[in-house]
Amino acid sequence: MGTVKNFEELVIWKMSRAIVNQIYADFKSCRDYGFRDQITRAGISIMNNISEGFCRSSDAEFKQFLNISKGSAGEIKSMYYIAEDQLYITKDEALLRRNKIQQLINSISSFMNYLKPLKKE
């Protein structure tokens, strides 16, 4: 994986950390505890799967954990539609959050492609 020595150096991990902090800020006063718990857990899942996959012994295992992270990011993106529909946050806030999450999804996908082994010809 090149010169990266710690998962904290990964841009995708830093992005996921920022998203988790945003989730906590957006919903700290939300009284829909089931919703708040689910979106928070999904955010934590992104960070933890990136870090756990990084600490595995192979790129193949890392990619598996990145795929789980990407799925959790998709869940959060969907939940921001619910948050918008239930008026937990404004439409503009929800759109900004979904765009940030889509950037993370795209970045995870790009990183997964980077980890793919080169095909022998």
| Residue range 47-67: mean pLDDT, rounded | 94
pLDDT above 90: percentage of residues in the chain: 87
Q: pLDDT, tens digit, for every residue of 79-90? A: 999 999 999 999
3 state DSSP class of 87: coil
Q: What is the reported pTM?
A: 0.91
DSSP-derived 3-state class of residue 21: helix
Residue ranges of the domains in the chain? 31-112
Contact of 83 with 35, CB cutoff 8 Å = yes
Q: Rg of the Cα trace of the chain?
A: 15
**Which CATH superfamily is 31-112 part of?**
23S rRNA-intervening sequence (1.20.1440.60)
pLDDT at 121 over 80: no
Which two tokens mark 59? 């790129």
How far is the C-alpha of 42 from the C-alpha of 23, rounded, in Å? 10
pLDDT at position 115 is: 86
d(CA 23, CA 2): 31
Do 73 and 101 touch, CB atoms closer than 8 A?
yes
